[in-house]
Structure 1
Amino acid sequence: MLRAFFVAALAICIPALAPQPAAAADEDAVAFMERFGGEWRGSGRLLIGPESGLRFHCALNGDPSRSMMAFGMTGKCWTGSLSAPVYARLRYNGDQKRFFGSFMDGAEGDGANIVGERDGEGFMLKLMRGELQGLLDAEPAGDGKMTILLSLYDPNSRRSIPVAAMGFARAGSDSLPIYDPAITGSIEPGNK
């Protein structure tokens, strides 16, 4: 199950869905989504579990739709010779000022349902699959770069535990942001 959420996070780090016309009041939300369009590459590592320290890479393409208030994303992530396709869809609901969507056919399929919102210049997405819940927190890390932290909620301790840390940059960038929280759960960004 941890692996399913890990792959889900990779796919939605660059956020689209059902047709919904854009209203003038939602122009800011549309411009926000468009910032995440285009080709991105990234790398990161798992922070806990039996595969702790495992490094991975991703190549993703964001496809925002201004007229549909939506964002689609496709690509793949890999480690060594193993790779997996990823895809996600989000739509923006102007009345609720939130994003709704799915990763890999949602919780009914092999992925997770998504509910999220803007968080300053970044975004925070809640991932849900049955009783399992997680958070994906994305923050800007310079021009055309961002960092992502995936956490899973532990009902026993009632806290979120960091599971994977990632750095992404637009294709063609000469470097990726480094983001490597300590395994203890502290969240301390490296060089951005």
Structure 2
Amino acid sequence: MFSRPSLIARGIAAATLATVAGAASPALSGAGDKAFFEQVSGQWKGPGEIVAGKYKGTKFTCDLTGEAADGTAGIKLDGHCRVGVFKQPMSAVITQAGKSYTGRFLDGADGKGLDIVSGNVAKDKVVVGINRKKLNGAMIARLQDPSTLNITISVKVEDTMVPVIGVRLSRELDNIAVGSIKK
């Protein structure tokens, strides 16, 4: 059995995948997918909460950096999430594989992480299938605006998808110049 911090960290990790996860849809594959990953590249921070299950009500914060893949649609994510005094490193790699994507969070389902097994990228949203042994689920990440990414992780319970984690990430805007200069 996994410890509470380990289970919480795994759930948080699944949520953070949304900043990097994706898969092709026939209408938007290729350049559209690559553009989405470029949009979600960069520095993201924000709070999240486990909204269902044994650890319902557990709050956490994440600090993540995404970098678009070179030459193909995809992204690499590094950073951490914190639950109280527990800090969990986060990493993910997503790469295009034909008309879909493959990837892993941490060391994948064979280790302590998750596998990305399917997905779809639309203009401002990505939906991916996630898997770990008997756990099947989905992650939806919607770019609300250029500086806000909303993420929902759901797991399949019998024939129903049940939301279990919600995250709201924001970009660091301090380093972005705004306004104009007048003489």
* Contact in 1 for aligned 2:59/2:83 (Cα 8 Å): yes
Structure 1-normalised TM-score? 0.76
SS at match of 1:67: coil
Distance 1:83 1:5 in 2: 12
Match of 2:12 in 1: 7
Alignment partner of 1:111 is 2:116: no
Moved over 4 A (4+): none
SS at match of 2:56: coil
Measured against aligned partners, the alpha-carbon deviations of 1:107-135 in whole angstroms (never above 9, x if no partner) come to: 11111110222144110111101111111
Deviation at 1:5, TM superposition (A): 4.5
Q: Which amino acid aligns with 2:140?
A: D
Distance 2:71 2:123 in 1: 24
Task: Check 1:120–1:67 CA distance in 2 against 1; reply closer, same or farther (3 A cut).
Answer: closer
* Contact in 2 for aligned 1:87/1:103 (Cα 8 Å): yes
Match of 1:147 in 2: 150
Greater relative contact order structure (CA < 8 Å, 6+ sep) = 2
Distance 1:41 1:159 in 2: 30
Q: Which amino acid aligns with 2:153?
A: L
SS at match of 1:12: helix
Task: Check 1:110–1:85 CA distance in 2 against 1; reply closer, same or farther (3 A cut).
Answer: same
Measured against aligned partners, the alpha-carbon deviations of 1:33-80 in whole angstroms (never above 9, x if no partner) come to: 111111000111111223211111000000112324331001000022
Query: Any stretches of 5+ residues in structure 1 without a counterpart?
Result: 17-24, 174-192
* Contact in 1 for aligned 2:15/2:152 (Cα 8 Å): no
Match of 1:84 in 2: 88
Percent sequence identity over matched residues? Answer: 25
Structure 2-normalised TM-score? 0.80
Match of 1:170 in 2: 171
CA RMSD of aligned residues (A): 2.0
Task: Check 1:40–1:140 CA distance in 2 against 1; reply closer, same or farther (3 A cut).
Answer: same
